[in-house]
Structure 1
Amino acid sequence: MDAAAPTPPPAGTGTGTAAAAAAVFPPFPAGYSKFNSALNAGLLNPMSPPPPPIDRIRSSPTLFEMMANEQDCHPRNQIPPLPALPAPPGAGRQQQQHHHHPQLMTAPPLSAQERQLLLQERVAEILGSCSPGNQLGDQETGDVRLTLTSRDGLTVSMAVHRQVLVAHSRFFAAKLSDRWAKQQQPQPAPPQRGGATAAAPHHVIEISDCDDVEVYVETLRLMYCQDLRRRLMREDVPKVLAILKVSSAIGFDGGILSCLEYLEAAPWAEDEEEKVAALLSQLRLENSGAGEVLKRVSLEVVPLAADERGTAGTGGEEVLVRLLQVVLEGKDEKARREMKRLVSKMLRENNSGCGGGAAGHGGHGGGDLSKESLYAACESSLRQLRHHFLRVAGSDLAEAAQISRQADNLHWLLDILVDRQMAEELLQIWAAQAELAAAHPRVPAIHRYEVSRVTARLLVGVGKGQILVGKEARCQLLQTWLEPFYEDFGWMRRACKGLDRHLVEDGLANTILTLPLGLQQEILLSWFDRFLNSGDDCPNIQRGFEVWWRRAFWRRNGDPDRPPRQLRIVAATSP
């Protein structure tokens, strides 16, 4: 049965009601009463939460609450800041000086004392890395005190052994000879109490103005090694060169031979070749085997017989001619393109090293190609191009691919000749190929457009002043090849990825503008009609047309009364 609800107190019993309410409900805290009074007075925002009671003691947090709030107090990935180190005296003043000049904040140079300490530490590391049983630096058994002083005043002293130095070094053998030792022998110390005598005296040797004290110590360590070659395998080429220089200075033959064997077998970086060759030439170690090392960077030239000197070039030129021939006859097109770039780079470097084309006028520039060799290769490529081109013009398409191949070879050789300023004769040879130009319309455009690239390269060379020939040669070039060039321009523009259309157009315009004014008018008016009917398949030489127009029809300042020329334009009808 449900319990009966409590009966409310009757009205009119105020005192009893208050007492009963006080008995049932506890009194309000004092803090809440103050908050209610402030709220009624309008001093607080009604939406603000009430303040916590001041007379209520907050209980200690539980373990779960502490774990939940730990990440808020101390983020897991946050590293607590390290305590600040005390600043050295004057650091604040230096910081103020460098505040406005960040570029001045550089590490101060080491003092002489600091450099001396660093040198001693490095020497101690070298001595500490010696193999067991190595007595280099042993104070107890060493009978020679060796002092090494660098050019900047750094000094290192160490104990060495007279027997080891004399056996390995001619320099120390002379210094520690019996006669020298007697002169340097100090007087024996008087006997001490109990009959004991003083320690054996040491010989003292000082070497000043050392290039590198560490290298001297490294060289001395090699004298104590049983297998020098194995020890040098841990070093690099610059360190071995430094050890070789010290070994040569002190007459350490074992070190010299070991360093030369290392240099002969180890690979060199490109910037190390000059250092190796220069040092070996400076030390003059031909009798010690330096010639075997230098064979890597020098070629022995075999003298030719008297009857062979007129027909054969130098050894370097023979190699270049062979490389040129292999590239021209290669079968893989991708490999041919890569090797063409490589050979062009080498020839360009050779040409600049020989004085910029000094070998180009019939002479031999050491390891460079002569003009005769280059033109022999051009004639061979042109002869094969003519053969295949005429066969394809006769409807024999079996060798059509050879047209593009030989034209590309001729274009590459032309680039080399232009770079060496020797392309004038090739322009004249190309301008005289009337038979080849006459057969041009009978060859499909897909096979013949590479031939017009040769014409385009010649036009660029003339237009840029790279090829200087007479007026007759320029006129013959345009008369023979301008029409085939027009016909193939659209194919060149679409099929040749590396073709610079604007460069070719400027070359053609400038070449035309080098001709007499009457020929300019004839060629440019013909181009005007072709361009209106062909559009992008015709080169745009509008700039050259404007120059010709101003030359021909503008009044000159010195002749204001000169009547203008009569321009006659005949529009050609398309078939």
Structure 2
Amino acid sequence: MSGVRRAAGRPKIGDLATSDVVVRLRTPEGRDEWLYCHSGVLAAGSRYFADRLSDDWPTCQILGSRYCVEVHCQELDLSPHVTALRLLYAAEPCSRFGVRGALGVLQAAAHLACPRVAAACVDYLESAPWDEADEEEILRTIPCLGPQYECVLARLRPIDPAPVAGILLSAFRHATSTRSPPQELKSAAQEQLEYMLTEDDDAPLLAFDDDIVRSQVKDCVAALLSRFSGFTSSILMEQGEAPLGHGDAEVQQELHSLVSDISWVCQILSKLEMMKCVVVYWIGVSSDVVEAVDKACGGIGCLKTRLKVIEVSAKVLEAIAFGNIVLPTEKRCGAVNVWIGFARRTKPLVGHPEHDDDDGDAEAPKINLDSEVWQSLESAIVSIVLTLPSNSQADILSDWLQSKHAKYPDLTEAFEVWCYRSKAAKRRLSFLSHANRVS
């Protein structure tokens, strides 16, 4: 009952009969609003009003015994200041007006030096969920209010490197695992790792320049490649020469998942300048990969997997073509021969429906690959061919010219360079013969 009596005796804002102060809120454009208030409530809750209502501050006495205190607001909207004044009358200030509303009230409370109201707004902002627009508004507003309010920015501050490394390594393990994580977690880990390591308007979240971190990344990649080798070996060990049928969907799905993971790993490792481990492995197993894919994915129903293999091969051969990874001549020659043949057989399948459709559904989805991937693979093959000895080039070009699929890859550039080099070889290297005679 005593609490009820106290509440009943508490003054109310706007009570003309009991108010002794008029607060006049004014905007830069001259718009104003008058509020009938109580000097005791204002002085107790606001240092601004405590100063303005003290005997040391000259005031203008109007409306009988009431004092008028003018408050000049920088914002055109007066409602946050009105709300802040109303909260001075509340037993416990409530700031649950949404993030934007609480920010406005916090600005008004900071302007009027109302610590209880400001604290209530800060507590709300720290605990409320934000969307992207809220975050941008908070970043524009909070730093202008003073360091005492920067605790609101805690969730937006840069994180220490140690936990970042731990999170990214854990995410990398999920991203390269085959069965342990749910597919949603695996996809999220791959997507976010790629985003965090991308150089855009912001710097990458973490540079893998620590030897321990790089070593753990290599271990994860090695485990993935080992699983892939084991799986392709099991396919090749199956009895029979014929490709697996369409009914063996589980094998085809597992193969597609593993190749997709390797393709994703190539994207990440290229950002980290760590492609060598994949390049050396992929070149070493190229023949087995092609044989396993041809066996498991004999029809166009598995074209997605074949195109993923093309993606990986394009990235691997590109790393060799640019000189980032140095391999012996025989390995480069063998890789080019293998992947020219695979690309030659795969390219004509592009554009067919994803699944064989007995009803002849013209709306069946068709599978394709980004034209840039085909172009990068072709460019890499041409560049690598031109690094080979002349006789090796001749063998590759002869096979290419005799093929019915000579349209892809287009080795015309390599053919032209080979013709020029071959014709001019004796003249250009004549100094060697002269040097040999002299010696």
Match of 1:316? 164
Match of 2:114? 252
Larger displacement relative to structure 2 (249-258 or 447-456): 447-456
Separation (CA, whole Å) in 2 of partners of 1:247 and 1:541: 71
**Contact 2:21/2:38 (<8 A) preserved:** yes
SS in 2 for 1:359: coil
Match of 1:469? 324
Q: What amino acid does structure 2 have at the position aligned with 1:407? A: V
**Contact 1:437/1:481 (<8 A) preserved:** yes
1:266 matches 2:128: yes
1:328 matches 2:192: no
Match of 2:359? none
Overall identity of the aligned pairs, in %: 15
Match of 1:305? none
TM-score normalised by structure 1 residue count: 0.55
Separation (CA, whole Å) in 2 of partners of 1:330 and 1:424: 21
1:169 matches 2:31: no
Match of 1:406? 258
Match of 2:377? 507
**Contact 1:475/1:515 (<8 A) preserved:** no
Separation (CA, whole Å) in 1 of partners of 2:422 and 2:345: 35
- For residue 294 of structure 2, the aligned residue among 431, 435, 445 is 445
1:339 matches 2:192: no
Distance 1:423 1:256, change over 3 A: same
Deviation of residue 254 (structure 1)?
A: 2.8
**Contact 1:513/1:544 (<8 A) preserved:** no
Distance 1:555 1:329, change over 3 A: closer
Q: What amino acid does structure 2 have at the position aligned with 1:208? A: H
Q: For 1:81-109, what per-residue CA distance to the aligned partner results, in whole angstroms no more than 9, with x for missing partners?
A: xxxxxxxxxxxxxxxxxxxxxxxxxxxxx
**Contact 1:506/1:541 (<8 A) preserved:** no
**Contact 2:397/2:415 (<8 A) preserved:** no
Separation (CA, whole Å) in 2 of partners of 1:357 and 1:316: 8
Distance 1:372 1:509, change over 3 A: same
Deviation of residue 296 (structure 1)?
A: 4.2
Would you tell me which structure has more helix in proportion to its own residues?
A: 2
1:552 matches 2:421: yes
1:275 matches 2:133: no
Q: For 1:159-198, what per-residue CA distance to the aligned partner results, in whole angstroms no more than 9, with x for missing partners?
A: 3221221232122123223x337x6586xxxxxxxxxxx9
Match of 1:426? 277
SS in 2 for 1:469: coil
Deviation of residue 518 (structure 1)?
A: 5.9
**Contact 1:460/1:508 (<8 A) preserved:** no
Whose relative contact order is higher, 1 or 2, with alpha carbons under 8 Å and at least 6 apart?
2
Separation (CA, whole Å) in 2 of partners of 1:317 and 1:157: 57
**Contact 1:512/1:520 (<8 A) preserved:** no
Deviation of residue 299 (structure 1)?
A: 7.9
- Output the aligned Cα RMSD: 4.4
TM-score normalised by structure 2 residue count: 0.69
**Contact 1:424/1:468 (<8 A) preserved:** no
Matches within 5 A, 1:288-367: 291=151, 293-294=152-153, 296-298=155-157, 314-331=162-179, 335=184, 338-339=187-188, 342-349=191-198, 351-352=199-200, 355=203, 359-362=207-210
Distance 1:352 1:167, change over 3 A: same
- For residue 67 of structure 2, the aligned residue among 160, 183, 203 is 203
Q: What amino acid does structure 2 have at the position aligned with 1:217? A: V
> Which ranges of structure 2 fall in alignment gaps of 5 or more residues?
1-9, 298-305, 355-366, 430-439
Q: For 1:116-146, what per-residue CA distance to the aligned partner results, in whole angstroms no more than 9, with x for missing partners?
A: xxxxxxxxxxxxxxxxx98534555432232
Q: What amino acid does structure 1 have at the position aligned with 2:410? A: I
Matches within 5 A, 1:38-437: 135-177=12-54, 179-180=55-56, 184=59, 200-208=64-72, 210-212=74-76, 214=78, 215-225=80-90, 228-229=93-94, 232-233=95-96, 235-276=97-138, 279-283=141-145, 291=151, 293-294=152-153, 296-298=155-157, 314-331=162-179, 335=184, 338-339=187-188, 342-349=191-198, 351-352=199-200, 355=203, 359-362=207-210, 371-395=214-238, 402-418=254-270, 420=271, 422-426=273-277, 428-430=279-281, 433=284, 436-437=285-286
Q: For 1:360-380, what per-residue CA distance to the aligned partner results, in whole angstroms no more than 9, with x for missing partners?
A: 44489xxxxx64444332222
Separation (CA, whole Å) in 2 of partners of 1:333 and 1:521: 51
Separation (CA, whole Å) in 1 of partners of 2:295 and 2:182: 18
Q: What amino acid does structure 2 have at the position aligned with 1:339? A: A
Separation (CA, whole Å) in 2 of partners of 1:476 and 1:553: 21
SS in 2 for 1:205: strand
Separation (CA, whole Å) in 1 of partners of 2:385 and 2:294: 29
Query: Is the radius of gyration larger for structure 1 or structure 2?
Result: 1
Deviation of residue 545 (structure 1)?
A: 3.8
**Contact 1:411/1:454 (<8 A) preserved:** yes
Q: What amino acid does structure 2 have at the position aligned with 1:180? A: D
